Structure 1
Amino acid sequence: MSTSERGGSRGTVAMLVDNPVVRDSRVQKAAQFLADGDWDVTLFGYAPEDEPDEFALGRARVVRVPSGQMPDVLRLRRAVAHVRNPLSYGSRDKAAFKETRMRAKVVDGAVRRGRPLEGGDLDGKDLYDRLADRAPFWTAARYRWTVKRARQTRRRSRSTGVKWNGRLEKAAVNAMRRLGVREYWRHSYSMPLAHEEAMLQEVLRLRPDVIHCQDFAPLRVAVRAKEILALAGHRAAVVYDAHEFVAGVSGHGPAWNAGLVDYERSYIAGADRIVTVSEGVADELAESYRLSRRPDIVLNVPLRFDPDSFTADGWVSPGGNTDVRADCGLGPDTPLLLYMGGATEPRGLNTLIDALDLLPEAHAALVCATGGRNRFLPVLMDRAERLGVADRVHLKPYVPFDKLVGYIRSADVGVHPLRRGPVNHEVALPTKLFEYAQARVPVAVSDCRTMAAFVSEHGNGEVFPADDAQGLAAAVSEVLADPEAYRRVYEDGGLAETYSWEAQAGIYHEIFTDLMDGRVPGTAPEQQAASL
């Protein structure tokens, strides 16, 4: 019996996400909002350690499980490596053990035979080879055989490293596509199988009424859980929350992307409703999969912010402040540019650094850009050093989503210099755009299609050509010349009210309620999905 049938709740929701939850603002907001609306919400994510844990997120319950093991997907590359290195051992550990043991036998054999060594023979990497010349024949032969096999093992191991865009991977994917192999995603993107291992039983144990799949990775788990529950006589519905257009994901190459697209195509028909983050992504999904119903839109916008009643509730940044300007040590008259989000080359941060060279009075705060093993950030700061602007670049760590808007409201211009090209860049309405709106911060954004159209329509900032530092500097200068004119748009045009989470997330309530009542048909694709 579901929670809804027992009374006291609208229904039981299992929400699935493939991250540790704590830095995913959309997922946290969705879980809390639904729980506050009398849905019994359990959010499943991944524990940062090897042990499961559980905690409350408002009225929602968060269960984090250890990540399952990712199966080997580089099958063709591994097979070719074995052919090229037929004498290799099963693992590098085994090769190291065998080689170390044979070295010890060579030492013992050389000592027993007692053949003299020259003083210089004690130097160099080939000491064991020289000792083998003085060891008994069979000991020396076994040693050389073992060394040969160990070398092949190391060579094989190096050649089977992850190369998502390698020639073998592309050849394998292209061959499988031509041959019509079903679910060839398993050969290039099998992480969903790890998600299934980690989460499926937990979801089934909950017996949810609605399974809310956040992003594409847990989609198979959601669909398979629904189907298994049906076998047990329990009706559940799947809501697929597509955070991006999978075919437009960049960074890993065509072989990996083809696997993602094939994976999404294989399971999207199992979703009863689809939700996504922008009109552009909805259009791409509807066209690509020939959906019978266009996805609903729930913009990833922040909670409604009231500047007059904001309180940090005891939270302070590592610098001891609740305000980005104070955190940077700047006075009220210093122009402060703001960027929020991950520090990666496709985000166009090089352009922002170059623009600082053209804006000698301005400083830039990069919020949430630190943490983890970010290889691009040191490169970016080296660029800032070369231009002599590093002292005007302030790196700030992650800020909780419910404190972020209050933290950034003292900035003068919110910047997003996203580079053009990838489909997802062109159709995106980034969350930071709406966080700037709630903070009443004017913006300067690159001319990526959807983002630029939004700013041009509402007049809350200026648009500049992507990768153009002079254009970015000019846009910032124009905003700084009359910032209040841009700020008034947020109130007079109603942007701050319209683009708040409270206004958007009610769509979830409507969708879930309709699914519980069985009133709304699903969004399944037509029999033959379009080829991407």
Structure 2
Amino acid sequence: MRLAVVGDLLGRADGRYDLESLAGALTRRGHEVRVLTASPVAAEVAAGGHRLIPIPVDVTDRQRPEDLMPMIGEMGRFLIDDWSQDPPDAVHCHGWAYGMAAQLAAKHRPVPIVQAFHQLTTREQGHPGAPAMNGTAVKLETLLARNATAVTTACTDEMDEVIRMGCPRARVSVLPSGVDVDAYSLDGDVAARGRERHRIVALAQDFSPDQGLEQVLAVLPSLPAAELVVIAGGDGARRLLAAAERLGVSARVHVVVTTEDREIASWLRSADVAVCPALYDPDARAVLRAMACGATVVATEAGGPRDAVIADVTGLLVPPRNAAALSRALRSVLGQNVLRQGMGLAGRARARSRYSWDRVSTDAEVAFEAAARRALATSA
């Protein structure tokens, strides 16, 4: 198929979907893939073999993906020109602005539009630190979902939400994030550690309250034989360390501020258990990284982790905001070596077989082919 992927190229570094890994995997499957983006592009052909096409809009002062919204007309005109010369069989859009521009362009140059949602506004609500409900955002998401030829979501919870918006079930599928099973593997550097304590590695996107790190700190006093390594990006480490000081566990807490794959993998290989405590995260990326490194996972039973973790086989799932359940799960895993090793091996096998980018690209391929068939049937 001739495929166009439209979105930002900022996935791996800032927690957004890694478009280039998906594009590279689709290229390896024999598809002709081009990525159209307002992000700075350094080459015409990426290392993965897909083409990179810059959308010529001024992004000098852009801080957030939403800042592209005033440019959708300009972006749409560029897409019309591109698709008039070389129409794709399907277009995969990531982000509101890219989705709006693509749907506007498709009115003039019809192509099947597959809209990706990575975290719906309605699913963010009810969690500490979540922004107030933005009515405009909900309307935009609903409009994009209903008008797209097909929709992909990050997890089953998000798929159910899109269906509640009024998008027919037959047009929605789950397309999770993949994991780089070469970067996150059993082989590679292992962070140094002592053997007098168990090591818990907590993974979070940042230090905000909705990431659940304070809850992990709260249960650490009940685990006197364990140390905690917190890995996250951004600011806020000082606040977390102050909380550890108040709880009297600061000597057993180490904070690592990084988004670098090699460093994260080295810590995960040294872990007895990895905990992914975000109160709600549609993206299972943190869980998958831990599983791919062979670490037993304890994660929140919601969003992406609920899809990725097979409870009591590849890890343990605990309800959000339930410190007692989290404490029990960690004590259970740390106290049973055979259980811990078995879950780690099972998790590694599941990450490689179900969530490698090559495997995820087969799911994407199915969604694109279905969208192309639906568009053809509609136009007939």
Establish whether TM, by shorter chain, passes 0.5: yes
SS at match of 1:301: coil
Of residues 463, 478, 496, the one that matches 2:351 is 496
Name the structure 2 match of 1:30.
22
Name the structure 2 match of 1:228.
108
Amino acid across the alignment from 1:16: V
* Superposition pairs of residues 55-94 of structure 1, within 5 angstroms: 55=43, 56-63=46-53, 66-67=58-59
Name the structure 2 match of 1:107.
none
Q: Give the CA RMSD over aligned residues.
A: 3.4
Deviation at residue 287 of structure 1 after TM alignment: 2.5
Cα 1:286/1:36, change in 2 over 3 Å: same
1:284-323 residue CA offsets vs partner (Å, 9 max, x unmatched): 2112214252411222231345988845xxxxxxxxxx43
Distance 1:25 1:403 in 2: 20
Name the structure 1 match of 2:278.
418
Matched, 1:278 2:278: no
Number of aligned positions between the proteins = 358
Between stretches 433-442 and 466-475, larger displacement belongs to 466-475
Name the structure 1 match of 2:199.
336
Amino acid across the alignment from 1:227: K
Distance 1:197 1:62 in 2: 21
Task: Look at both structures and tell me which one has the larger radius of gyration over its CA atoms.
Answer: 1
Distance 1:66 1:453 in 2: 39
Matched, 1:53 2:45: no
Of residues 287, 291, 308, the one that matches 1:433 is 287
Between stretches 259-268 and 52-61, larger displacement belongs to 52-61
Name the structure 1 match of 2:361.
505
Distance 1:472 1:507 in 2: 33
Unaligned runs of 5+ in 1: 1-9, 71-188, 231-235, 312-321, 420-424, 523-532
Amino acid across the alignment from 1:245: L
Amino acid across the alignment from 1:370: G
Deviation at residue 397 of structure 1 after TM alignment: 0.5
TM-score (norm 1): 0.59
Distance 1:266 1:490 in 2: 42
Distance 1:434 1:22 in 2: 14
Name the structure 2 match of 1:252.
131
Of residues 82, 89, 92, the one that matches 1:212 is 92
Distance 1:517 1:466 in 2: 40
Cα 1:490/1:498, change in 2 over 3 Å: farther
SS at match of 1:42: strand
Amino acid across the alignment from 1:61: R
Cα 1:289/1:18, change in 2 over 3 Å: farther
Between stretches 17-26 and 331-340, larger displacement belongs to 17-26
Cα 1:346/1:460, change in 2 over 3 Å: same
1:218-249 residue CA offsets vs partner (Å, 9 max, x unmatched): 2101211222324xxxxx22111121233223
Of residues 373, 393, 398, the one that matches 2:254 is 393
CA contact (8 A) 1:301 1:435 kept: no
SS at match of 1:218: helix
* Superposition pairs of residues 376-525 of structure 1, within 5 angstroms: 376-391=236-251, 392-400=253-261, 405=265, 408-419=268-279, 425=280, 428=282, 430-448=284-302, 451=305, 455=309, 457-489=311-343, 491=345, 495-501=350-356, 502-516=358-372
Deviation at residue 476 of structure 1 after TM alignment: 1.3
Cα 1:458/1:200, change in 2 over 3 Å: farther
Amino acid across the alignment from 1:477: R
Deviation at residue 454 of structure 1 after TM alignment: 6.4
CA contact (8 A) 1:286 1:294 kept: no
Deviation at residue 213 of structure 1 after TM alignment: 0.6
Deviation at residue 439 of structure 1 after TM alignment: 1.7
Cα 1:406/1:213, change in 2 over 3 Å: farther
Cα 1:483/1:446, change in 2 over 3 Å: farther
Name the structure 2 match of 1:238.
113
Distance 2:105 2:52 in 1: 19
Distance 1:217 1:342 in 2: 25
TM-score (norm 2): 0.79
Distance 2:369 2:100 in 1: 23
Distance 2:186 2:330 in 1: 29
Between stretches 483-492 and 445-454, larger displacement belongs to 445-454
Cα 1:498/1:345, change in 2 over 3 Å: same
Of residues 74, 79, 82, the one that matches 1:203 is 79
Distance 1:482 1:382 in 2: 32
Distance 1:307 1:21 in 2: 16
Cα 1:489/1:352, change in 2 over 3 Å: closer
Unaligned runs of 5+ in 2: none
Amino acid across the alignment from 2:25: F
Cα 1:62/1:378, change in 2 over 3 Å: farther
